[in-house]
Structure 1
């Protein structure tokens, strides 16, 4: 591969050097568009620019153009109204669509090397608390990091196309999906592919490819994929959170390679990497020490010169420099003057065969206690469906009682389909505690909805912790028929603008049980002339229930 330093990407156009696929973008086009954008930004006097572009090719143009113009770039995590309001005063303009980018183009500035210390980028991260933070980085820090990545894995990747499931607004996606392939001369797919099927589809279009993925996606890659067609993958990267060992082992069995996990953050840059259950291997030139509490301290070329970053990660550092993480020191809580390590209890819970993932938090009610968010494994779901919620939570409490005092046993449990990670692959502690306090769900999760000729088809997931399962029946939870009718009516009112009010039922049939974590399909059709809503629920193999809801117009 022909390496170009990050600061030299706008020196001169390099022919036959492709940057992106679908639509294709080569280096001469990138070079010209970036310099044209730089001219437009300078002409408008823009010095601080917020950029949020889902197209990674356009993001590359925006970053290089802004840096050539001497503009500082802010990458907000999303475009929610509160996010825009939070950062509005920190920037002169927002760049969020291709049309806004094109409107800025002018006759290009001259080619030049970028200043490694003057060019700046600000990233927005939620941190462990969920409170947004701004992390400032220089081009030098990022250039050091992409060169280190190429030294480690460039030979393995060769000419692989880089395909990503993570957003480029955050440091992992930005480095691995955009800046590293730009310097290395590897093509990259422009769009973030958030579903396994999309990742598979894109992979089949390239003879060589590598994945830049999140644990959330890698855990969902099931048996329905064409795994033999995916074995040419050069490397599978994972970052943004812990990848459960079972998920890593499953990928190893299917792809004949262990995923490469990356440890790092917006604050620290890359810290270390590992495969399988090996200890973490620090990146070259990353120096690790510990404070008096055993927390990692980091000095590296990906940080400002002379800066030592203090983390809240407890670690055991081996004589050869490799290390194991022992949990976060900022997740040690006090209950009745007793210090309790939430990571330790979470590890103990996930050691049980019924638990795939869990997060614990403090619930402040009459007195403080712990609560647990639990994603059940396949064995755990089987137990829930055949023994009931109480049996599952009592079994998990009994298991945990071997690892802690009674006051640390969770008093509140929430059984989830998956942990609700944010766009950065994190679950802030404040969100954990809000979920524990929230009531159990009373509605299905709508995964997908489509409409053809006035008839709606909805793909629904039944929450494993649905409130209506309690008491119906305690040891074999079943979705009550009256709830199925109520859901059909409520969803019909949302989608079909139904007139009037409920007046009765016709030809009601219940044929198959609906159980926790089932996926079912709901068909809705409204007969305007007869004033009847037709509904039918199906699982993968058979009809579950059907009927007609009679609606009566309300007179004025």
Structure 2
């Protein structure tokens, strides 16, 4: 299927235009509580940070922030300096330290109390103590890039190098399709800017379109009421939208974007009931960027590729994507099975060992690797299983002698101990919820893990 369109006029949305002098200095960039953060403040913060960064030799800086405004300051300052922003997909100190030891980055920019063995600059939400000459912006360098991380097939976080030009092209493509829907709104989000979805929709698109964004994550349904007093675009995860309470008073959003996993038809209708509009669902990957979208007007609504992006099916049934938003073979390595018809394409599941649970992309191999690294476990296998109406991770484990000693206090004591041991490395949704203790992981005649037998253990 090829859904390419010929745009009548091409938008030009560039990050180096965000701070340009022809934008009014009192233009709102973001808001924090009742405080409006203007372009004037944004320029001053960025130029102040540029002055600090220019005196440092480090080239790759991890940016780890709760506050999206400060994250944006750090991102643009690094790009203006010709340095590389490195965006980990988490804020866990133990894992960040491990990535630092693997030379993923040389320095850290943050608003958190993170103690890493590298130069660290801490940004605060409090105001600047001195006025900085905003005319001193350096020239925007060519060939800048951002490094993000996603789950890899080896279980290790996989770096994804994103040229800024491709991130800008993605914003242009989105604006070409949806600018009128975004226009005149403020942007709030339930998702982190530490992943490509949040980076694109919560930060980059609002910056280039001149739309103010909320500095903090919106965690609960109840927080949306005050935000919808003005026209609002909500950048959400399916997990958040599934938790909306239809018993609360109905609200009105101008637009809702959802990405990370598909909503069912009934779930999308409930979102419209609660928030006044059907969500626009996005399909894409960290490597490829956006691929397709849908708005579920009826059951079995197909996905439609964005203009300029072509979707076909490979011989093994997986999706193949041709897009201007990446410049390698990422479109041939997505591993999602699809069915194509005249209206679009339908997702049929994944073919590899990366799964999505509550819209988080989790590597089963990574969880296995972390388990086997514990002194109490000699081997482990992780599989996704259905528990009620949810998907959870289940662990089949083989204990060492030290693990058997802990087990003497009971299986529950052991599994609680193991879960606690994993917490410094693994986010809560990836912690195994079900456990089986085995003498050996079952193998098939080809000496590969017998996943059908493992599934039977948890029936």
Determine if the TM-score, normalized by the shorter chain, exceeds 0.5. yes
Superposed CA RMSD: 3.7
Q: Give, in angstroms, the shift of residue 256 of structure 1.
A: 4.4
Contact 1:263/1:272 (8 A) holds in 2:
yes
Check conservation: 1:299, 1:307, Cα contact below 8 A. no
Cα distance in 2, alignment partners of residues 38 and 371 from structure 1: 46
For each residue in 1:482-535, what CA deviation from the matched residue of structure 2 results, as whole angstroms up to 9, or x when unmatched? xxxxxxxxxxxxxxxxxxxxxxxxxxxxxxxxxxxxxxxxxxxxxxxxxxxxxx
CA distance in 1, matches of 2:177, 2:87: 27
In 2, Cα distance between equivalents of 1:121 and 1:48: 10
The answer for unaligned runs of 5 or more in structure 2 is 1-10, 113-120, 369-380, 391-422, 438-459
2:171 is the counterpart of 1:151: no
Change (3 A) 1:20 1:3: farther
Residue 215 of structure 2, aligned match among 181, 190, 196: 190
Cα distance in structure 1, aligned partners of 2:162 and 2:384: 38
SS at match of 2:173: helix
For the pair 1:373 / 2:386, whether they are aligned, the reply is yes
CA contact (8 A) 1:200 1:225 kept: no
Tell me which residue corresponds to 1:249.
269
Residue deviations 1:235-274, cap 9 Å, x none? Answer: 1111112223221121233444321110112111111000
**In the TM superposition, what are the counterparts of 1:131-530 in structure 2 within 5 Å?**
131-204=156-229, 207-227=230-250, 230-231=251-252, 233-276=253-296, 277-304=300-327, 308-319=331-342, 322-330=344-352, 372-376=385-389, 431=430, 434-437=432-435
The more displaced of 284-293 and 269-278 is 284-293
Change (3 A) 1:45 1:109: farther
Q: How far has the Cα of 1:131 moved from its partner?
A: 3.5
Match of residue 72, structure 2, among 48, 55, 60: 60
Aligned-pair distance for 1:91?
1.8
Quote the offset at 1:50 in angstroms.
Answer: 0.4
CA positional deviation for 1:129: 7.5
Question: What is the CA distance between 1:17 and its match in structure 2?
Answer: 1.9
How far apart are the structure 1 equivalents of 2:54 and 2:436? 50
Which residue of the partner structure matches residue 116 of structure 2?
A: none
- Structure 1 residues 13, 190: closer, same or farther in 2, change over 3 A? farther
**What's the CA shift for 1:85?**
1.7
Deviation at 1:278, TM superposition (A): 1.6
| 1:41 aligned counterpart, secondary structure | helix
Q: Specify every segment of 5 or more residues in structure 1 that has no aligned partner in the other structure, as ranges.
A: 333-341, 347-358, 378-421, 440-556
Relative CO higher for 1 or 2, CA cutoff 8 Å, sep ≥ 6? 2
Q: Secondary structure at the match of 1:24?
A: strand
Distance 1:286 1:107, change over 3 A: same
Aligned residue pairs total 357
Larger radius of gyration: 1
Q: Report if the CA contact (8 A) 2:67-2:111 is conserved.
A: no
Superposition TM-score, scaled by structure 1 size: 0.58
What is the deviation of 1:370?
7.9
Change (3 A) 1:130 1:216: farther
TM-score computed with the length of structure 2 as normaliser: 0.69
Please, which of 21, 28, 45 is the counterpart of residue 12 of structure 1?
Answer: 21
Shift of 1:305: 6.2
**CA spacing shift, 1:75–1:438, aligned 2, 3 Å:** farther
